Structure 1
Amino acid sequence: MELERITVALRPRTAREAVDLGAAMLRAHARAVWSAWFACSLPVVAVCIAAGWLLQWPWLATLLIWWLLPLFDRVPLYVLSRAVFERAPRWRETLRGQRQWPWGGTIAAVTWRRIDSHRTLRFPMELLEGLPSRQRRERWRVLRRPIGTDASALAFGCLELSVVLFVGMFLCVALFIPPELMPDWLRGSIGGVARRTPEVTGALIAATAYVAWSAIEPLHVAAGFALYLNRRTQLEAWDVDLAFRRLRDHWLAAGRGAALLLALACLWPHGAWAQKAEEPPVQIEHVFDQPVSAQDQRFAEASAEAFRDPRFGGERKEHRWVPREWSVKPKPVKIERMPFEGFGNAVAIGVKGLVALVLIALVVAVAIFLLRRARLPAVGVRSRHEATLETHLETIEAEAHLPDDLAAATRRLWQGGRRREALALLYRGCAEAVAEALQTSVPADATEADCLRSARRLEESRRRRAETIVRAWQYAAYADRYPRDEDFEQLLAGWPAAARGAA
Structure 2
Amino acid sequence: MRLEQMTVHLRSRSAWEAVELGSALVRRHAAAIWKPWLLVTLPLFVALNAAAWAIDSIWLAGLLMWWLKPVFDRIPLFVISRATFGATPDVSDTLAAQMRWGWKPLLHYLTWRRFSPARSLYLPIDLLEGVQGARLRERRRVLGSAVYGNAALLTLVCINFEIALALASVALVFLFVPMEYLPETMRAAWSLAIDQPPWWVQVGSNLAGWVATSVIEPFFVGAGFGLYLNRRTQIEAWDVEIAFRKLRARLTAAATPFVLALFLVGAGLPMLRAQEATPAPDSAKAFTCPITVPEEPKKTDEPPTLPIVFGEQRVDENRFSKAVDQAYRDPLLDSKRKQVTWEKRDKTKPKPPQQRDMSWLSGFGAMFAFLAEWGLWILVGGLVMILLLTLRHWLPWMRGSLRRRKPLPVEVETEALQLPEILPDNVPAEARRLWAQGKPRHALALLYRASVETMAQRAEVALPPGATESECLRASRRMPDSEDRSLFARMVRVWQYAAYAQQLPAQEEFDDLLSTLQRRYRWAT
- TM-score, L = length of structure 2: 0.48
Structure number with higher helix proportion:
1
Larger radius of gyration: 2
- TM-score, L = length of structure 1: 0.50
